[in-house]
Amino acid sequence: MSTPDSGTTERRPIRVAIVDDHPVVREGTAALLAGVDGLAIVGTAGSLEDAAPFLDAAAADVVLLDIRLGTASGLTVFSGGAADRSPERLLPAIVVLTAYDYPQYVAAAMRLGASGFVLKTAPIAELVDAIRRVAAGGLAFGVRPSGRAPTFTARELDVVRLVVDGRSNDEIATRLGITAKTVEAHLRRLFERLAIISRTELATRALREGWLDVPPAE
């Protein structure tokens, strides 16, 4: 039998929660990690609303967070976007776990305060290492931004979102309470900055590269 002086105090396992809207991925990851020594799965969720109980350092040490959660963005958790999470509650360490290595995703995760970024295609050993590293207060970015990731203001994202919806300049202007000329100016600047030549290309890239999933730059 060990005594208080024997130096064999047992270390508490790292409490992990998983937020992913794909049940197979979510439960499969949980099953894999549940068999790893030193880790304990405290919950899984398919949305930020369902994840609210775990988005507190008192409930979980590490949260594995997908970016695309249906029509919502997991990154909104950093701006208080999760239901029932008050600003004063301390977030656990968050590791973004995604299938997409878009530069803007990595850059946004770093900018917003994520502790790590791991691709779903990574070996389980890499994910476990990331969990242990961030639980100890470190960082675990297995992917780094390559080149300069595009950033957008809130208004630019509003315009892009409505272009994706197929709205005309006049409809965008009415929806946003601005003039059609202002919409044209926003689009012209976006086209020039991103080397885009058409509204179709703008919409296609926005969807393909997940621009609408990333919170706007301040």
Domains 14-141 and 154-213 alike in fold: no
Q: Which CATH class is domain 14-141?
A: alpha beta
- HSE, CB side, 13 Å, CA atoms: give it for residue 93: 21
> Is the pLDDT score of 87 beyond 70?
no
What's the CA gap between 196 and 205, in Å, rounded?
9
pLDDT above 70 covers a percentage of the chain that reads 88
What tokens were used for 56?
Answer: 């507190």
- CA 103 from chain center: how many Å? 13
pLDDT level of residue 143 (50, 70, 90 thresholds): confident
Alpha-carbon radius of gyration of the chain: 20
Q: How is the chain split into domains, by residue range? A: 14-141, 154-213
Q: Pick 154-213's CATH classification: 1.10.645.10, 1.10.10.10, 1.10.3720.10, 3.30.1280.10.
A: 1.10.10.10
Q: In terms of pLDDT, which residue wins out, 49 or 215?
A: 49
Written as six digits, the tokens of 101 are 């290595």
Q: What is the pLDDT of residue 218?
A: 60
Q: What is the pLDDT of residue 82?
A: 53
> In the prediction, which pLDDT does 216 show?
79
Residue of higher predicted confidence among 70 and 96: 96
pTM metric for this prediction: 0.74
Mean pLDDT of the chain: 88
Percent of the chain scored above 90 by pLDDT?
64
Quick: pLDDT tens for 151-181.
Answer: 899 999 999 999 999 999 999 999 999 999 9
Q: Give the model confidence (pLDDT) of 98-140 as tens digits.
A: 998 888 888 888 888 999 999 999 999 999 999 999 999 999 9
pLDDT surpassing 50 at residue 1? no
